[in-house]
Amino acid sequence: MAAGAAKRKSGKAVLGIHAACTLVAFLVVASLAFVLNRSVTEADRFGLTAERRLVESEMRHQVDAVVQYQAQLSYWDRSFAQLAEGTFTDAFVKQELTDWLWRDFGFSWMIFADASGRTFVAVENGRKIDAEIGGRTVKWVEDLIEKANGLYEEALIAKGGGWAL
């Protein structure tokens, strides 16, 4: 009987060892699955964050380029010569605005207005249109114009009897 009891104890011990090994193997697989799932999630998050940062950087670069080119109109001698006459001539609009700004940037609209909001030149899809149509379009974005003017005024710095940005 002692041999049978010993055999039963050793059989239970073997079963216990197998159960413990199975449990350890299951826990290792479960922990690896958890770590793998977590690492994939974090890698995706990191990739999306990096991609978003790259897109935002490119958008800022594009906006800066547009602002730079548009700002050139404000201090360009040919612009001043045109504005001294009160408006841009058709030739100036064709050669300088539609062939330059519109083609380079693909703006669907370019509308030039004075400080009072009076539109004097409107260009839609690369061709000059009636200024009144442009004026009606400007009314839809008056809030954006107001915000842009406010930001412009905030950026002005008094310098030697004049102003600088």
Give the separation between CA 149 and CA 133, rounded to whole angstroms.
22
Q: How many CB atoms lie within 10 A of CB 99?
A: 12
Give pLDDT, residue 50.
92
Give pLDDT, residue 51.
93
The pTM of the full predicted model, rounded to 2 decimals, is: 0.50
> Per-residue pLDDT for the chain (165 aa), expressed as one digit of tens each?
555 555 666 778 888 899 999 999 999 999 999 999 999 999 999 999 999 999 999 988 888 877 777 677 766 777 777 777 777 777 777 777 776 776 777 778 888 877 777 887 888 887 888 888 888 888 888 898 889 888 888 888 888 877 776
Give pLDDT, residue 3.
57
Give the separation between CA 78 and CA 106, rounded to whole angstroms.
22
Using only C-alpha atoms, the chain has a radius of gyration, in whole angstroms, of: 36
Give pLDDT, residue 77.
76
Give the separation between CA 1 and CA 14, rounded to whole angstroms.
20
Instruction: Pull the structure tokens for residue 159.
Output: 């310098």
Give pLDDT, residue 139.
86
